Amino acid sequence: MLRFLIRRALGAFVIIFLLVALTFFAFHSSGNNPAQMNCPKGCTPQLLAQITHNMHLDRSLGQQFWDYITGLFVGQDMGTVGHCAAPCLGYSYAGQAFVWDRIAANYPATFVLAVGGAICFLSIGVGLGMISAWKQGSLLDRVSSSISLVGQSTQIFFIGPLAMALFVYNLKWLDRPEYVPITQDPWGCFMGMILPWLVMSVIFWSNYTRQVRSLMLEQLSEDHIRAARAKGMSNRYVWWRYALRGAMAPIITIFGIDLGAVFSGAIITEVTFSIHGLGFLAVKSVNQADLYLELGVLLFSSAAILLFNIIVDAAYALLDPRVRLG
């Protein structure tokens, strides 16, 4: 296990390095002067020169890349802006703050959105799938299949505003969704995020419903299930301890991929509900042509995805003894 983790971690480092290289050179190849783009209105030549110096644009591209890489581990000095501490992702001129600080300020919202959303789509998706498998061919089964088909075919930027119009403005059950720090007001946080959680989960859960249904049906027709039943085990015990356990492994794989997706920033959900998370930050940085912020968000999200891939593979091996890590 340890060997596996170390190897995967090293692999992730290589991927991150390649990614930094790819994005860094792509972003700097645009032919525009980043200092000019980052210079606020009423830009004076002195200010421009200062920004150029602070951003290290007066150095060669290779040197800049080296600065960026070393900055990730030991930080770097950025002239008048001050010292950028260890995981240094550069300075965002548009936001007048270090990129790392901006990401750290926005990440809690993404994190809460991701955790709540994941709980929603996993429980709803698996639940509906189990019901479908339990009452196979019944009306309930057909209804849940249709719901998941519609869910699969819908878009957050459609049902999001629709749900807001209904629950917030028409029925007035909820306030306008917003992120309240969970440490400040847990209940307010829950009430503010419940709509984004549910809306976000719609596009994810359908996949689980379909998979769980077919996997459970497949499992229930296996010989060992029949043997367990023949032994006189209760239906419920067989269902939960034998069939579900066997069906869980592929579900965990999908769940890991989806977790990576939501933790790296559910952009459309965040923009639809104006939750100031990572995805929102990304869109803002693109619109403001804030190069270092874009780069930082992209790196941070990729690292999140890689981390989840490793966790999922490890969990997979722990849960399914047939899987050998190699």
Partner 1 sequence: MTTPTEDTTTTEQVVVASATGDGADKPAALLGRTPGQIAWSRFKRNRAGVFCAGIVLLYILVAILAPVITGLQGQSPYIPYGTRDLSLLDDSGLPIGPNGGMSAAHWLGLTPSNGFDVFAQLIYGIRTSLGIGLLITIFSSIFGIVIGVAQGYLGGRFDYLVGRFSDLLLGLPTQLFFIAFTPIVLIWFVPIDRETPVYMRVIAIVLVQTFLGWMGTARLLRGLSLSLREREYVEAAKISGASSWRIIFKELMPNLATTILVQVTLMLPAMVTAEAGLSFLGVGMVSPTPDWGLMFLDASSYYRDDLTYLMVPGISLMIFAIAFNLFGDSVRDALDPKTIR
> Cα separation of 113 and 239, whole Å?
32
Residue closer to partner 1 by CB (options 117, 279) is 279
Least gap, CB of 158 to partner 1 (angstroms): 4
Which of 122, 130, 238, 298 lies at the binding interface for partner 1 (CB under 8 A)?
A: 298
Q: What share of the chain is helix, strand, coil (3-state, %, to 5)?
A: 75, 0, 25
Q: How far is the CB of 261 from partner 1 (least distance, A)?
A: 8
Using rule CB under 8 A, residue 215 touches partner 1: no
Closer to partner 1 by Cβ: residue 38 or 302: 302
- Residue 302 interacts with partner 1 (CB under 8 A)? yes
Q: Could you tell me the sign of the dihedral formed by the alpha carbons of 51, 64, 281, 185, in that order?
A: negative
Number of Cβ within a 10 Å radius of residue 105 = 13
**Residue 168 near residue 273, CB atoms below 8 Å:** no
Q: Is 294 in the site for partner 1 (CB under 8 A)?
A: yes
CB of 260 to partner 1, least distance (A): 8
CA nearest to 177, candidates 199, 194, 202, 198: 194
Q: Strands 97-98 and 91-92: what pairing?
A: antiparallel
Kindly state whether residue 95 participates in binding partner 1, applying the rule CB under 8 A.
no
CB 217 within 8 A of CB 189: no
Residue in the block written with tokens 């920033």: 265
For residue 54, the minimal CB distance to partner 1 (Å) is: 22
225, 305, 314, 325: which one contacts partner 1 (CB under 8 A)?
305
DSSP state of 91: E
Q: Contact between 162 and partner 1 (CB under 8 A)?
A: yes
- Sketch the per residue contact string, 8 through 47, with partner 1: x for CB under 8 A, - otherwise: -------x--xx---x--xx-xxxx---------------
Q: Which of 116, 309, 312, 313 binds partner 1 (CB under 8 A)?
A: 309
Rounded to whole angstroms, the Cα distance separating 102 from 123 reads 32
74 binds partner 1 (CB under 8 A): no
143 binds partner 1 (CB under 8 A): no
- First-to-last CA distance in the chain? 9
Number of residues that bind partner 1 (CB under 8 A): 50
* Cα 211 from Cα 267, distance rounded (Å): 26
Q: How far is the CB of 18 from partner 1 (least distance, A)?
A: 6
Q: Give yes or no for residue 286 binding partner 1 (CB under 8 A).
A: yes
Half-sphere exposure of 299 (CA within 13 A, CB side): 28
**Options 13, 66, 73, 158; binder of partner 1; rule CB under 8 A:** 158
Under rule CB under 8 A, residue 88 binds partner 1:
no
Q: How far is CA 116 from CA 58, 111, 206, 277, 312, in A?
A: 46, 9, 17, 14, 19
CA dihedral 90, 91, 94, 99 (to 10 degrees): 60
The answer for residues whose C-beta is within 8 angstroms of residue 319's C-beta and 6 or more apart is 248, 249, 252
- Does residue 253 touch partner 1 according to CB under 8 A? no
Maximum CA extent, the chain: 86
Interacting span for partner 1 (CB under 8 A) from 62-70, 115-123, 222-230, 292-300: 292-300
Find the shortest distance in angstroms from Cβ 96 to partner 1: 21
Kindly state the smallest distance separating residue 101's Cβ from partner 1, in Å: 19
Residue-level length of the chain: 326
Which positions touch partner 1 (CB under 8 A)? Answer: 15, 18-19, 23, 26-27, 29-32, 149-150, 152-155, 157-162, 164-165, 169, 210, 214, 218, 261, 264-265, 267-268, 271-272, 279, 282-283, 286-287, 289, 294, 297-298, 301-302, 304-306, 309
